[in-house]
Amino acid sequence: MIEKTYLKTKPQCKVKFMLPASEYKNAKSIAVVGDFNQWDKQANLMKKQRSGFFASTLNLDVQTSYQFRYLIDGEEWCNDEMADDHTPSPIGPDANSVLHL
């Protein structure tokens, strides 16, 4: 799930990436990895919230599209079904989630 809040004071959008903890009960770590952090697997680790979601919030530039994926326990990649789009990955047979701002 993705929540977008466009900022009035600057050309950015506050994007909250969320995955339901109930679907990833055994996960020790989940990271959101993408163009916005140069695909750095440690840059944006998600935290488990009281709301029952793993979440991470980033301020991203508007009028830009970003490819991203989630990385579970440093091994398993998954996409966000609620992403704005999906596109073939340039480095393998999988697809990447796409966020349009």
| pLDDT tens-digit map of 32-53 | 999 999 999 999 999 999 988 9
Distance CA 33, CA 40 (A): 6
pLDDT number for residue 91 = 85
Find the CATH number of the domain harbouring 71: 2.60.40.10
pLDDT surpasses 90 at 61: yes
pLDDT category at 92 given cuts 50, 70, 90 is confident
Average pLDDT over residues 15-43: 95
| Residues 6+ positions from 38 with CB-CB distance below 8 Å | none
Average pLDDT over residues 78-88: 96
Q: If you ran DSSP here, which 8-state letter would residue 27 be given?
A: -
Average pLDDT over residues 74-93: 93
pLDDT surpasses 90 at 57: yes
Domains contained in the chain, number = 1
- Range of the structural domain that residue 56 is part of: 2-100
pLDDT category at 25 given cuts 50, 70, 90 is confident
